[in-house]
A and B are shown apart, each in its own frame.
Chain A
Amino acid sequence: SQTIHQWPATLVQPVGSPLSLECTVEGTSNPNLYWYRQAAGRGLQLLFYSVGIGQISSEVPQNLSASRPQDRQFILSSKKLLLSDSGFYLCAWGTGYGYTFGSGTRLTVV
């Protein structure tokens, strides 16, 4: 079966600390993968998308970066977190019916 895993579910990090969020997909090959951020009470903003290993497109300038070291693995990173990086981060896998989403990571930067 096709599934998408995202972890951790919640994270509290101090300003200036690094970040690594991981997303993996099972049951498919060469998926299109996406990272979205959802600020409180707002819609989803596309941060990065990837159509293959090592291929990353950035949608908005920001303090974050993404990498795709393996076909089914997508990583969101930061070297130094800012307060404004707080939010709900969703990984998504593009399918014929839009997206299948991971369960999300709620990041609070303190």
Chain B
Amino acid sequence: DAGVIQSPRHEVTEMGQEVTLRCKPISGHNSLFWYRQTMMRGLELLIYFNNNVPIDDSGMPEDRFSAKMPNASFSTLKIQPSEPRDSAVYFCASSLGREDIQYFGAGTRLSVL
């Protein structure tokens, strides 16, 4: 398996634009996580899916953020409208179960100008 695949690797956009980050988890994994990494807060859990169903989205900063998982092999994290403070590296991870070892993608570095 190629591991968790995220796209794009880098995204530069202007404030107010919509941004969509994509993730393909490892085949057979039932849990998918979206994280945001910043210098100040380290790795923050944004949302967690189990069997394609959002279980915990308490980490999503505000209504501008939304995530979907239409099937077991694809998830998106959308920011609309984007703001400069959203600039960070966003990671997707998948695991067999919630408490199991998580395998991370290479991340998407988002810069909102």
Q: Do A and B come from one complex?
A: no
Please list the residues of chain A having a beta carbon within 8 angstroms of any beta carbon in chain B: none
Interface, chain B (partner A; CB < 8 A): none
